[in-house]
A = this chain, B = another copy of it.
């Protein structure tokens, strides 16, 4: 998509080839996943952890989703998986360098969410109220 070259009043993201941009979008979609972010935070905060510890730290997650998420993160190089060949199995997960840097990058969003939580809730309440009025 040749997207007519456009002036950006305030270049906040950078100009990119459409192709690169698509790839970046894809990466972000993957990484901005709900569980991925929670796992990221847990590992960032608590360091090296076993499978069960992580699942305990993330209340709603199923073992299926945790496995899946950890695999993806491992594949993307965000997480390092260490298996100790003992019985019963002992597996540890920890963030890699890239993983930690992603944590930092997300920090901005985290802070934003924290900071704007009240405003958002207020906005929602207002919106819902207006909607309710409309339908009597």
Contact = CB atoms under 8 A, between A and B. Distances in A.
A102 interface: yes
B31 A13 contact: no
A23 interface: yes
B123 A75 contact: yes
Contacts of A121: 23
User: What bracket does the count of chain A residues touching chain B fall in?
Assistant: 35 or more
A126 to B, nearest CB: 8
A111 B14 contact: yes
A16 B110 CA distance: 11
A28 to B, nearest CB: 5
A28 B108 contact: no
Interface string A104-124: 111111111110110111111
A110 B75 contact: no
A13 to B, nearest CB: 5
Contact of A108 (B3, B41, B109): B109
B45 A120 contact: no
Contact of A113 (B6, B31, B120): B31
Nearest to A75: B127
Given A13-B111, A25-B37, A27-B113, 18 more contacts: A3-B59, A6-B45, A9-B45, A12-B45, A14-B111, A16-B114, A25-B38, A28-B109, A31-B113, A75-B124, A75-B128, A76-B123, A77-B120, A98-B120, A98-B123, A102-B109, A102-B112, A105-B109
